[in-house]
Amino acid sequence: MQVREILRVKGGTLYTVTPQQSLAFAIDSMADLDVGSLVVMDGGRMVGMLTFREVLKALEGKATAIEDLAVGDVMVVNPVTAFPEMEANELRRLMIEKRSRYLPVLDGDTLMGVISFLDVAKAVLEEQGFENRMLKSYIKNWPDETQA
């Protein structure tokens, strides 16, 4: 299974913010949308990623008010990315090695979507379920040697 297939099942909805928007706005958006990441866009291109991990790191031990922080102050610049032809196993390995729960998928310079670790787990589970059903059907319809 390739990343493009996971994206096709998931859908290509992208939630974005700009580097200039306040971190408070981004947090509210993430909570309202029930998402764990936002793609940071500037001038029509991806310039970073914001996840709850960066939000928590930004708030850790800070006396600064959250309203004083911009998304660009805390986002991940040059995030790890995936590409549409990447195999699911390679994607899982990359996500684990880089400790990234959310990866933007780029086809050249075009942002195709964002894959979460949950998206990968769902896709793998569905694929295994399909294979299981196919094997059961194959075994059930196995030619009976005694009737030949």
What percentage of the chain exceeds 90 in pLDDT? 56
Average pLDDT, integer, range 35-53: 95
Domain boundaries 3-141, corresponding CATH code:
3.10.580.10
In the numeric block, the tokens 């569905």 are attached to 126
In the numeric block, the tokens 């990866």 are attached to 103
102-133, pLDDT tens digit by residue?
Answer: 999 999 989 999 999 988 888 877 766 566 66
Query: Which residues partner with 102 through β-bridges?
Result: 116
The predicted pLDDT at position 58 comes to 86
pLDDT class of 28 with cuts at 50, 70, 90 = very high
78-91, pLDDT tens digit by residue?
Answer: 999 999 999 988 99
